[in-house]
Amino acid sequence: MVGALVRDSKEVDSVSAIPRVVAEACNPQVQDLIILPTEKCNFRCTYCYEDFAVGKMSEAVQRAVEQFMSNRIPDLAQLSIKWFGGEPLVAKAVVLRLSAHAKSLCDQHGVGLSGGLTTNAWLLDYATFSELVSYDQRFFQITLDGWKDVHDTFRRRANGRGTFDRIWENLLATRESDDQFEIQLRVHIRRGDQGSIEELLQHIAAEFGNDPRYSIDFEHIRNLGGEGGKTVANPLSLDELKAIERDLRAFYERQIASYHPSMARCAGGIPDPSVDTVESASASSLFDGYVCYASKPNSLLIRADGRLGKCTVALTDDRNTIGKLNDDGSVFVEKLKLQPWIRGLRSLDEAELGCPLGGLPR
């Protein structure tokens, strides 16, 4: 299957020349699922691109997802589940139900299971966190937009109130766990906010800097569409972000050294580029190990209403509706709509592999 994707022997002499991540993207024994249990959210972040039009996953769709898993598991070596929304924990019962089902199936068939949530952490109390970890949902991406006052300006609840204090309280509680997990703190950067970011990093270093289960990732706020995207003015370029990130990571290292002198951490916990999170910021080099989840044939987005897609950003783009999940757990996929998303595996073009939405044919 992989060999058929090599377009010219002069360009690629053998399958072995294809980076491992590309081969893994075509592996039929690996299934990556991105599940939206709801597309509603309890936050109204000022820059958000979503429209919150689709509500909680129905009982019928939940049963179909369970049946899809049951159909696929016997043929798999690895199942990965990434929960997205909206805010997935607004439909916490759905997340826990389907996670428990996946865990039971994988244990029964000896299939590896991994997973995690992109969550605003408002509803991530310690009991919920612990139950998710028990189902091997061990990765959590949680966004902070600076220290309290700045964060609360941009990441508000639907009623307009701030969100920082409760998120921070829930984060602190996770330290009590003896389990293995990863919490990636996604720090948003804008022009003029560096002072607030440094204050945030100082607190992160003090509270989490001696625990390797916590890492930081920097992103620049930009227009990703929707009404929220229109509010983003004069965003940082990717080159500007890289320069600022270098300074912030150096600052973070100094803070860790101050609070935890015995810790020797490199570059402030730079995330592994092979970790494929939803809503990724940019296309990294292919040979750095990054292939967008939307470029992978064995990655599937299941929306709350049962539609199938590839990308978590282009939710209102018809090109991103590639099929549907049937009641019996089978899937219908329009091949002509799927092919443009995975075209990078044929071209081996870094930009197409890193972000197939860019230049996606209409």
What is the CATH number for 217?
Answer: 3.20.20.70
For residue 4, is it within any domain?
no
Q: How much is the pLDDT for 223?
A: 83
The domain of 39 spans: 19-273
Q: What is the mean pLDDT of the chain?
A: 89
In a domain, 304, yes or no: no
Question: Cα–Cα distances in Å, from 315 out to 53, 57, 153, 321, 322?
Answer: 10, 16, 26, 8, 11
What is the rounded distance in angstroms from the CA atom of residue 323 to the CA atom of residue 337?
A: 9
Residue 143 has pLDDT above 90, yes or no: yes
Asked whether residue 336 is assigned to any structural domain, the reply reads no
The single-letter DSSP state of residue 332 is E
Give one DSSP letter per residue of 274-324, joined into a string: T---SS--S---GGGT---GGG-TTEEEE-TTSEEES-SS-TT-GGG--EE
pLDDT number for residue 7: 39
Note the pLDDT of residue 244. 94
Report helix, strand or coil for 360.
coil
Q: State how many domains the chain has.
A: 1
Name the residue type at position 161. Answer: R
Rg (CA), the chain: 20
Other CB atoms within 10 A of residue 347 CB? 13
pLDDT over 50 (residue 285): no
Contact 174, 225 (CB under 8 A): no
Any domain includes 359 = no
Whether the pLDDT of residue 264 is over 50: the answer is: yes
| Percent of the chain whose pLDDT exceeds 70 | 88
pLDDT, average across residues 118-133:
98
Within a domain: 202: yes
pLDDT at 276 over 90: no
pLDDT for the residue numbered 15: 42
Answer whether residue 60 shows pLDDT above 90: yes
Say if residue 25's pLDDT is above 90.
no
Q: Is residue 126 part of a domain?
A: yes
Query: Which range is least confidently modeled, 75-79, 153-157, 223-227, 257-261?
Result: 223-227
Q: Which tens digit of pLDDT belongs to each residue from 305-361?
A: 999 999 999 999 999 999 999 999 999 999 999 999 999 999 988 899 999 999 999
Which residues are CB-neighbours of 11 under 8 A, at least 6 positions away? 348
Q: Which one has a higher pLDDT value, 23 or 163?
A: 163
Question: Is 358 within the bounds of a domain?
Answer: no
Note whether 36 and 302 are within 8 A (CB).
yes
CA distances from 326 to 29, 63, 95, 102 (A): 21, 10, 20, 18
Q: What integer pLDDT is reported at residue 289 of this predicted model?
A: 58
Distance between CA 65 and CA 266 in Å, rounded?
Answer: 41
- Structural domain includes residue 100: yes
pLDDT at 282: 41
Indicate the SS3 state at residue 127.
Answer: helix
Q: Which residues contact 243 (CB under 8 A, 6 or more apart)?
A: none
Q: Which of 24-33, 200-209, 287-296 has the lowest mean pLDDT?
A: 287-296
Query: pTM for the whole thing?
Result: 0.88
